[in-house]
Amino acid sequence: MRLHVLGICGTFMGGLAKIAREAGHAVTGCDAQVYPPMSEQLRDLGIALHEGYDAEQLERHPADLYVVGNAMTRGRPVVEAILDRGLPYVSGPQWLADHVLAGKWVLAVAGTHGKTTTASMLAWILEAAGLDPGFLIGGVPRNFQVSARLTASPFFVIEADEYDTAFFDKRSKFVWYRPRTAVLNNLEYDHADIFPDLAAIETQFHHLVRTVPASGLVVANAREPALARVLERGCWTPVERFGADDGWQVGAVDAQDAFEVKLRGEVQGVVRWDGAGEHNRLNALAALAAARHAGVPVAAGIEALSRFQGVKRRLEARGTVNGITVYDDFAHHPTAFEATIAGLRKRVGTARIVAVFEPRSNTMKLGTMQARLAASLAGADLVYCHASGLGWDASKALAPLSTRAAIYADVEPMVEALGHVLRPGDHVLVMSNGGFGGIHGKLLRRLALAAGQARPER
């Protein structure tokens, strides 16, 4: 079958395109914004990309079926042409459910934060146990170096996003996945562009809970009141909780972030890894619980986590110049900002942390979280904000940080300013869910030039 994927460079749609190619379909696609790692993955697969959303591409890339990403809206010429001509189309989640997930033991990881990391941990635990899982994850696990793959295994791990499915299906993506094992990592208000309040998101999570069979398992964060409310609305599946005395717990933690795993008060083993922060320890507990449901002994899961290499763009060191290290992180919500800074602080101690971020997500652009912004960044020594095209006043939101905060409308002047203020020993934490104008490379080149180096250290 010939598939043309609309919005192919998004992490989900790009992963779907890879899986479709591995299943033997001919795949092309279109998008308007292309940046790594997805652009690199698609090029490596030899998938032809069409730049833009014009209707003419339907002649250049004729298809048997058009797979529509949720970034596609009414009014885009290619969408209007498909509708006018009566061409066959389907959402990405539905195509995946019909052609890949049917008959699989699906392990779905949902939550406002930590989906990518937890799904990556889970896929790696299953892989280390010899279960050869397929997966589709919204990032690139370093243990696999790809965001998606199709295997003959009955097991499939998927990052279960609560964002809406398509312009013609406003339910959350994850209602299509029909998991046997469902992880509910956490839940707070996000996606202000499509959800009016937290209660609306809780309803979507309950739709997901309704699809898990009685023979399945729900793994839920016991520290989240919103998840407690979701389960109180009805649950027909056994529930295992993490972060609670009667479930999975984090025990003793040493100075190197190694930690004990406890299950109902009994120590199961010690995870020794490079993971940073309490949020990652909870992610690990969720992954261990889900893997055990698929048949992986806890001890084997703990051993696998000691070899977990993390995820690209999750506190990923991009380079070091003159003792200044630049990190890339996908954080794009105040809770994630705070957790990421706290994790880095645990790692670097009293060294200066310089947080550089852009309010890029739809929720952040709308200003819904602006009241929480300053507090979430307070753990950094300096804060640089790329505020472009916002409908709210970033300087007012960051005013509590006083002279610790600086705001720039363009990337280049911000890079130049950072070049003057940074000093050996600093840690620059760049946070964005987009390409951020290639700021990581620009900053490393600026630092290397100032230090007289030909290239940044790795």
Given a cut of 80, whether residue 458 has pLDDT beyond it is no
Q: Backbone phi, then psi, for 7, in 5-degree steps?
A: 85, 40
Mean pLDDT of 204-225: 97
Position of tokens 């180096």? 453
Task: Output the CA torsion 107→176→241→111 (10° steps).
Answer: 100
Question: What local confidence, expressed as pLDDT, does residue 38 receive?
Answer: 67
In DSSP notation, 337-381 reads HHHHHHHHHHHHTTS-EEEEE---SHHHHHTTTHHHHHHHTTTSS
Per residue in 62-120, pLDDT (tens digit) is 999 999 999 999 999 999 999 999 999 999 999 999 999 999 999 999 998 889 999 99
Distance (Å, whole) CA 325 – CA 375: 24
Bridge partners of 159?
109
Mean pLDDT of 186-211: 89
Set out the domains of the chain in order of their start, with CATH numbers.
2-91 (3.40.50.720), 103-305 (3.40.1190.10), 316-451 (3.90.190.20)
What residues contact residue 45 under an 8 Å CB cut-off, 6+ apart? 17, 18, 21
Distance (Å, whole) CA 240 – CA 417: 49
Given a cut of 60, whether residue 355 has pLDDT beyond it is yes
The average confidence (pLDDT) of the chain is 91
Distance (Å, whole) CA 431 – CA 360: 10
Per residue in 126-172, pLDDT (tens digit) is 999 999 999 999 888 989 988 899 999 999 999 999 989 999 999 99
Number of other CB atoms surrounding residue 421 within 10 Å: 12
Does residue 282 contact residue 296 with C-beta atoms inside 8 Å?
A: no
Q: If pLDDT is split at 50, 70 and 90, which confidence band does 226 have? A: very high
Question: What local confidence, expressed as pLDDT, does residue 452 receive?
Answer: 72
Angle formed by the axes of helices 11-22 and 38-45, to 10°? 20
Between 395 and 130, name the one with better pLDDT.
130
Q: Report residue 47 CA to chain centroid gap.
A: 23
Mean pLDDT of 190-212: 90
Number of other CB atoms surrounding residue 139 within 10 Å: 22
Mean pLDDT of 173-195: 90
Question: What local confidence, expressed as pLDDT, does residue 434 receive?
Answer: 76
* Least confident piece of the model among 77-86, 179-188, 384-393: 384-393
